[in-house]
Amino acid sequence: MDQTTERQTRLKLAVQKAGRLTDPSLELLARCGLKLSRGRDQLLGVGENMPLDVLFVRDDDIPDLVQEDVCDLGLVGLNVIEEKRLELAARGAKARFTALRALDFGHCRLALAGPAERSYAGLESLRGLRIATTYPYLLQRFLEQRSVQAEIVRLSGAVEIAPRLGRADLICDLVSTGSTLQANHLREIETVLESHAVLIRTPVTLPAEQQDWVERLLLRIEGVEQVKESKYIMLHAPRSALPEIKLLLPGSETPTIIPLEGSPDRVAVHAVCRENVFWETLESLKRVGASAMLVLPVEKMLA
């Protein structure tokens, strides 16, 4: 294969270079089987065992890189793509990237918060107040949908100190644990957007081989997300207790029933539970006669 063809058949995925999404994004890719060798400039990670390379960039650049087809795929927060969508719409343009799948990391919410000591009397009480944010478009949509007239103060960072500096009455910022708000004596009052990481793709139709890899990656992500909570459970039980046992196993499909040599009344039950198995479940199983219970983590799953 010559160099040009080789380049054209490799997928390029944009990932945040250094930030909250970096580790979970790389962990997801590793769990999907990708082995990356990072170049000396750390800008490009070359997939050693898949035709997929990773470009490390600032998260804010990811939607543009994907819609301009510099990258085929991107891992980025819903907050970033939704703000981008609205920003483009305000300019009469349309976002050309497509969200392929929500991911189970980067969870946070864009929220309104105000001084802790100030009582909050509902959305109506926001009229005429100044709200500092780095997400002016999402905030504007939120206010418009609720017919609230407030002033949006656009900032590029350090939003949480704006009320103390007298630059705004309230803030609209991302919150995960709430400790930043607390440290700044602020109290959350409304949720503007619930967010999480998203896999996005280019608007361009990919060559069949690349499209095939996108689909394989999606299936692997599906598998990775499913096994997170899944457990494999093995136990012995009286044959007569099987109906109760099946009801007690959380999120399991048809379990495998195996006869036990020398004990015609007892069987071994093996099942994949798609939810976590808690001590309480094991105690309930024991009460209906189960014994020798073993719960194992599931490493890979492919439907």
Helices (H), ranges, 91-166:
136-145
Which of 13, 16, 85, 273 forms a contact with ligand PRT (CB under 6 A)? 16
Minimum CB separation from ligand PRT for residue 68, in Å? 18
Sign of CA dihedral 206, 210, 212, 216: negative
* Residue 51 to residues 163, 217, 229, Cα–Cα distance (Å): 49, 11, 29
Which of 178, 223, 250, 251 forms a contact with ligand PRT (CB under 6 A)? 178
Q: Which is nearer to Zn ion, 16 or 210 (CB)?
A: 16
Span of 37-45, 57-65, 256-264, 265-273 interacting with ligand PRT by CB under 6 A:
57-65
Which of 108, 171, 241, 248 forms a contact with ligand PRT (CB under 6 A)? 108
Phi and psi at residue 114, to the nearest 5°? -135, 170
Strands (DSSP E) found in 78-230: 98-102, 108-115, 130-133, 151-154, 170-175, 186-195, 197-201
Nearest alpha carbon to residue 85 among 100, 111, 63, 112: 63
The answer to whether 174 contacts ligand PRT (rule: CB under 6 A) is yes
* Amino acid residing at 26: L
> Which of Zn ion, ligand PRT, none does residue 252 bind (CB under 5 to 8 Å by kind)?
none
Which of 17, 24, 60, 288 forms a contact with Zn ion (CB under 5 A)? 60
Q: Minimal CB distance to ligand PRT: which residue?
A: 77
Which of 10, 44, 60, 268 forms a contact with ligand PRT (CB under 6 A)? 60
- Start-to-end Cα distance in the chain: 33
Span of 57-65, 101-109, 230-238, 251-259 interacting with Zn ion by CB under 5 A:
57-65
Q: Which residues pair with 183 in a beta bridge?
A: none
The answer to whether 59 contacts Zn ion (rule: CB under 5 A) is yes
Interface ranges with Zn ion (CB under 5 A): 59-60
